[in-house]
Amino acid sequence: MENGYLSLVLHAHLPFVRHPEHEDFLEEDWYYEAITETYIPLLIVFDKLVRDGVDFRITISISPTLLAMFLDPLLQNRYLKHLDSLIELSYKEIDRTHYYPDMHKLARMYNQKFLDARGLFESKYHRNLAAAFKHFADLGKIELITCAGTHCFLPLQEMYRPLVRAQVKTAVALHEKTFGRKPLGMWLPECGYHPGDDEILKDAGVRYFFVDTHGILHGTPRPKYGIFAPVYCKSGVAAFGRDIESSKAVWSAKEGYPGDYNYREFYRDIGFDADYDYIRPYIHVDGTRIQTGIKYFRITGPNIDLSNKELYVPEWAREKAAEHAGNFMFNRQKQVEHLHNFLGKPPIIIAPYDAELYGHWWYEGPEWLEFLCRKIHYDQSELKMITPGEYLEKYPKNQVVTPSYSSWGWKGYAEYWLEGSNDWIYQHLHKAGERMIELANQYPVADGLLKRALNQAARELMLAQSSDWAFIMKTGTCVPYAHKRFKDHIERFTRLYEAIKANAIDAPYLAEIEGKDNLFPEIDWRDCRTN
Amino acid sequence: MIRTKAPAKKKAAKPKAVKKPVVRTRKTPVRRVSRKTTNDQRPTTYDLRPTPLPVQEKVEDTKYYPGPVVQKFEERHEFLFPERYGDNKITLMVRDPYWLFAYWEINEKRSAEIVRELSQAVFSQSRLTLRVYNVDNWDSFDIEVTGGAKNWYLRVSSDASYCVDIGYKTPDGRFIAAARSNIVRTPLDRMSDIIDEQWMIPDWEKLYLLSGGFRVGASSGEVKELSSGSFVKEIGPRPFWLWVKTDVIVYGATEPSATVSVQGRKVNLRPDGTFSLRYELPEGKFYFPVEAVRDDGRERRNITPTVDRKTEPACQQAGSH
């Protein structure tokens, strides 16, 4: 009999990055890297677990922007092209490293992984990663949930409720259309929750969401079981709180697993190391050196300069991943045993992470996950994996608590998205939002060109609302791109708004931006109406 | 970390009055927006992280990490964000339990009305002022807006409702509002005092600790000094360094239909019959036997270049003075 439950939640998200106007666009690489290093390795892990009869449960949120990219033929083709070029480079690396046997082995490893990825993507899943995830959802091993439409940080749109609703409804509609069923849960972008958002989730048929630890702990009234049982908002939608201990094990640099010296070093890449003429065909078309994904070194030790890193040894890393999985499981076993005694009922431990942490940042993350699932399945019976949906079915009775406004970002609230580097965007974002509501109220019915223009305006607004732009402005990575994107979408929205108001829609212009920002074909501008 | 006293009790003992406002001046943001970014090219070094990020944000940020060089964009100039929309309004947002953010715009029509009401002479001596109301008890405090700011961060208290008027304060202390904001509520920064009657809480203090309470935001932002080399690159003088490697390129050409092998392994020819192989070489002597065989197998050619790689001791270098 189990003492308690573990619910692993992976949040997969990238902003919508698709630039048909350029043959080779740097930021699209975010997506290609994530496919090769995270999404495909995760699918391989799931496949192996299923094949070996390991019963596991993982909850995966796929953001609607990411899902739209999964489904886009242009990006599917471009990914294959990207991968083919990587495969070509890996063959050259096999030759080039001939006289360094250890490095040569790594070159062969990359070559094999890229070939495997290609086989999977092209032959097994027919370029459709959404279908691949659906496969494991249909087997009942993973629970697929959604996220707000363009990953809008909802608490900072709180004064425009119809826009929050449009983010939620658009997401649920795309999820249902793609996966054939409504999502049971939603990952609120950055866990940003404002009391009352749950009402909107309820109207969209979403049964649960996640908040950070203090969102539950500072809820009203006091939650009896802390974060170890979900609570119901007054709307009846359940909120699950993040567990700090299991979070820290993976996120924390000091105590966290990914910082282990045996693991692969993220920043040392042959894209920067190799001779320029040699690497030139595999970096950005304008000659900028970029990451290729072929990385030969390990973290090595504390404060080691990148040029002094030592060679990566996959066997050591794999051993570490197994050890860390064992450690994680042991700690969760102790945790649920202790909590079970204390609470008098089996606790649920919510362990949410960015999916891209696994594989992309923490190269061995997918292996760790595989070891963890196997160990939980074979080695013990106290801890059981569960999805939030299953838990609610099993334990429908929970306390009624309104969680507090919170996020899982730095300092726990909205500061990362509202501070000196990015606070200027809200004036423009809110104005565009007001204008969208105005349009939706003015045109309850539309068809033809007007309908297309209204829907495209809604798309542009939502793209401007992506939390990624404010996030990037704050972190300082790729700031010009974030500025460009925010500006592009506000500009496109504004031009559409003015054209609609003037009854002078420019059909070629509309067609052009429909071709660029082509996500959410089923979007409905009427979701932005007041009421 | 175990506290002996519940924070709720500590906080509850404090008077609930609005704290003295602490203000930060904000410059008008428009300049930041229109700044050119086309020349933003940084040197190719590894030390590019401007400030260490909290670890969770750091990991999230790697999704957007293309490499150490920022791409150049052709900035278009036809669209600029308007400085004003002609609205008369103030918008209030909650940043965290202690800070609100307000931005505003007073349009010409409303300005003119206020000038008429006050007279030009009084208006010109009046100060643009934010009046912050605690809506729960209608306590208020004023902040004088300086430096032509169009937005402001306001220090407030947790678990309270606020709205803000933007207006003008005359020398004799009268306040005329130009616009009133939406009402917002700051979150509770501690556990609730309200205990559901239906439930018993056995040992809340312990449960709160077990849940990781008392350290809000710690889960993601706790780790500022990061131990692992991969998580952070300390900003500071980079030690002088050098590395040298030797790659050798073996290349050549033959009939496009021929079969070529190097060191006994078959090599793919480009359509024009050329081929190229590259090896990173350690110390030592290397042989690269190259063999080409005509497609009908009736002719073959063999060439074997050799390479001797040797690194001389530093003392034998010439011209060091």
Which option is the CATH number for B16-36+75-185: 1.10.287.70, 3.30.70.2190, 2.60.40.10, 2.40.50.100?
2.60.40.10
How far is residue A245's CA from residue B211's CA, in Å, rounded to a whole number?
8
Identify any residues that bridge with A351 across adjacent strands, giving them in sequence order.
Answer: A8
How far is residue A138's CA from residue A39's CA, in Å, rounded to a whole number?
18
**Main-chain phi, psi angles of B145, to 5 degrees:** -85, 125
Pick left, alpha or beta for residue A146 (phi over 0 → left; psi -120 to 50 → alpha; otherwise beta).
beta
Residue A8 Cα distances to A140, A142, A318, A395, B213, angstroms: 15, 10, 21, 18, 21
Cβ contact, residue pair A290, B67, below 8 Å: yes
The answer to whether residues A278 and B278 touch, using CB atoms and an 8 Å cutoff, is: yes
Band of the pLDDT at A193, cuts 50, 70, 90?
A: very high
For helices A425-442 and A479-501, give the axis angle rounded to 10 degrees: 30
Cβ contact, residue pair A412, B220, below 8 Å: yes
Best mutation target among B48, B60, B85 (most A Cβ atoms within 10 Å) is B60
The answer to whether residues B249 and B281 touch, using CB atoms and an 8 Å cutoff, is: no
**With an 8 Å Cβ cutoff, is A143 touching chain B?**
no
End-to-end, the C-alpha distance of chain B in Å comes to 61
**What pTM did the predictor assign?**
0.85
CA distance B89 to chain A (A): 11
Q: What is the mean pLDDT of chain B?
A: 74
Position B67 scores a pLDDT of 59
Reported as half-sphere exposure (CB side, CA atoms, 13 A), residue A350 has a value of 27
For residue A314, cis peptide bond before it (omega within 30 degrees of 0)? no
Range scoring the smallest mean pLDDT among A399-413, A504-518, B115-129, B233-247: B233-247
In the predicted model, what is the mean pLDDT of residues B200-215?
51
Question: Is B92 in a helix, a strand, or coil?
Answer: strand
Q: What is the 8-class DSSP label of residue B172?
A: T
Range scoring the smallest mean pLDDT among A151-155, A467-471, B30-34, B53-57: B30-34
Position A524 scores a pLDDT of 97
pLDDT at B70 over 70: no
Q: What residues contact residue A463 under an 8 Å CB cut-off, 6+ apart?
A: A16, A150, A485, A489, A517, A519
pLDDT in tens, B103-143: 999 999 999 999 999 999 999 999 999 999 999 998 999 99
Where does A4-71+128-256+312-411 sit in CATH, by number?
A: 3.20.110.10
In the predicted model, what is the mean pLDDT of residues B28-34?
35
Contacts of B190 in chain A (CB under 8 A): 218
Range scoring the smallest mean pLDDT among B8-17, B135-144, B213-222, B274-283: B8-17
Cβ contact, residue pair A410, B65, below 8 Å: no
Residue A414 Cα distances to A249, B99, B209, angstroms: 24, 10, 24
Domain with CATH 2.60.40.10 in chain B: 16-36+75-185, 247-310
For tokens 């131990």, the residue is B227
Best mutation target among B36, B37, B64, B288 (most A Cβ atoms within 10 Å) is B64
pLDDT at B31 over 70: no
**With an 8 Å Cβ cutoff, is A161 touching chain B?**
no
Position B207 scores a pLDDT of 52
Range scoring the smallest mean pLDDT among A150-159, B64-73, B224-233: B224-233
How far is residue A303's CA from residue A127's CA, in Å, rounded to a whole number?
41
Domain residue spans in chain A?
A: 4-71+128-256+312-411, 418-528
Q: What is the mean pLDDT of chain A?
A: 95
pLDDT at B238 over 70: no
**With an 8 Å Cβ cutoff, is B213 touching chain A?**
yes
Q: What is the 8-class DSSP label of residue A206?
A: -
In the predicted model, what is the mean pLDDT of residues B219-223?
38
| Interface predicted TM-score of the whole assembly (ipTM), two decimals | 0.94
Which tokens is A120 given? 């999977």
pLDDT at B196 over 90: no
pLDDT at B200 over 90: no
User: Which residues between 238 and 267 in chain A have a beta carbon less than 8 angstroms from any beta carbon of chain B?
Assistant: 241-245, 247-248, 251-254, 256, 258-259, 261, 263, 265-267
Residue A349, H or E segment: strand A348-354
For tokens 């309470």, the residue is B213
pLDDT in tens, A269-307: 999 999 999 999 999 888 889 999 999 999 999 888 888
pLDDT at B217 over 70: no
CA distance A85 to chain B (A): 16
Cβ contact, residue pair A414, B212, below 8 Å: no
pLDDT at A522 over 60: yes
CATH topology of domain A418-528: immunoglobulin/albumin-binding domain-like (1.20.1430)
Residue B26 Cα distances to A420, A422, B66, B99, B148, angstroms: 8, 12, 32, 14, 9
| Pick from B46, B61, B213: CB nearest A475 | B61
User: Which residues between 55 and 74 in chain B have a beta carbon less than 8 angstroms from any beta carbon of chain A?
Assistant: 55-57, 59-73
pLDDT in tens, A320-352: 999 999 999 999 999 999 999 988 889 999 999
pLDDT at B75 over 60: no
For tokens 């102790």, the residue is A334
In the predicted model, what is the mean pLDDT of residues A107-124?
97
* Neighbour-count burial of A254, counting CB atoms closer than 10 A to its CB (0-12 exposed, 13-18 middle, 19+ buried): middle
Cβ contact, residue pair A30, B66, below 8 Å: yes
pLDDT at B78 over 90: no
- Strand B247-253 relative to strand B265-267, pairing: unpaired
Position A103 scores a pLDDT of 96
pLDDT in tens, A446-462: 999 999 999 999 999 99
In the predicted model, what is the mean pLDDT of residues A204-225?
94
Of residues B309 and B14, more confidence is placed in: B309
Strands (E), A40-135: 58-62
Band of the pLDDT at B211, cuts 50, 70, 90?
A: low
Pairs across A and B, CB distance < 8 A? 328
The answer to whether residues B289 and B300 touch, using CB atoms and an 8 Å cutoff, is: no
Strands (E), B135-281: 139-144, 151-155, 161-169, 175-180, 184-185, 247-253, 259-262, 265-267, 274-280
| Pick from B32, B195, B233: CB nearest A424 | B32
Of the candidates A116, A246, A402, A405, the one whose C-alpha atom is nearest the C-alpha of residue B93 is: A405
Q: What percent of chain A has pLDDT over 90?
A: 89
Position B221 scores a pLDDT of 37
What's domain B247-310's superfamily in CATH?
A: Immunoglobulins (2.60.40.10)
Band of the pLDDT at B20, cuts 50, 70, 90?
A: very low
The answer to whether residues B168 and B127 touch, using CB atoms and an 8 Å cutoff, is: yes
Band of the pLDDT at B50, cuts 50, 70, 90?
A: very low
- Percentage helix, strand, coil for chain A under 3-state DSSP, each rounded to 5: 55, 10, 35
How far is residue A433's CA from residue A159's CA, in Å, rounded to a whole number?
10
Band of the pLDDT at B236, cuts 50, 70, 90?
A: very low
Position B26 scores a pLDDT of 42
Residue A321, H or E segment: helix A314-343
Band of the pLDDT at A121, cuts 50, 70, 90?
A: very high
Q: Where are the alpha helices (DSSP H) in B119-271?
A: 120-125, 204-210, 218-221
Which tokens is B175 given? 């306040």
Position B57 scores a pLDDT of 78
How far is residue A348's CA from residue A330's CA, in Å, rounded to a whole number?
16
How far is residue A17's CA from residue A404's CA, in Å, rounded to a whole number?
33
Question: Is B104 in a helix, a strand, or coil?
Answer: strand
Range scoring the smallest mean pLDDT among A178-192, B31-45, B164-178: B31-45
Position A256 scores a pLDDT of 87
The number of beta carbons lying within 10 Å of the beta carbon of residue A13 is: 26
Residue A470, H or E segment: helix A467-475
**With an 8 Å Cβ cutoff, is A293 touching chain B?**
no
Of residues B60 and A452, more confidence is placed in: A452
